[in-house]
Amino acid sequence: MNTNKICLNCGSSDIVSDRSLGGKMVCFKCGSSSFRTKSFTPIIKKNYIYFAIALIILLIVII
């Protein structure tokens, strides 16, 4: 089970190696073979955007 990847189809992180497909990694829940790595950068970027918006609104209210 590789916890660094998630399924694009269902979002599950339960990934197994299917022996009948020659060791190809597939999702345990839906059987899809499309994955992406987990990334925390979008969350951090969203936090920066929200912080910038809040800062701009605060500056507008003060002025």
Q: What is the pLDDT along the chain (63 residues), one digit of tens a residue?
A: 445 788 877 877 888 877 777 777 888 888 778 777 766 555 566 778 888 999 999 999 988
Tokens encoding 37: 């790595």
Smallest CA-to-CA distance from 13 within 27, 25, 33 is with 27
Query: Across the strands, what pairs with 6?
Result: 36
The number of CA neighbours under 13 Å toward the Cβ of 25 is: 13
Say whether pTM exceeds 0.75: no
Domain that holds residue 55: 5-62
Q: In DSSP terms, which residues pair with 7 in a beta bridge?
A: 35
Domain count within the chain = 1
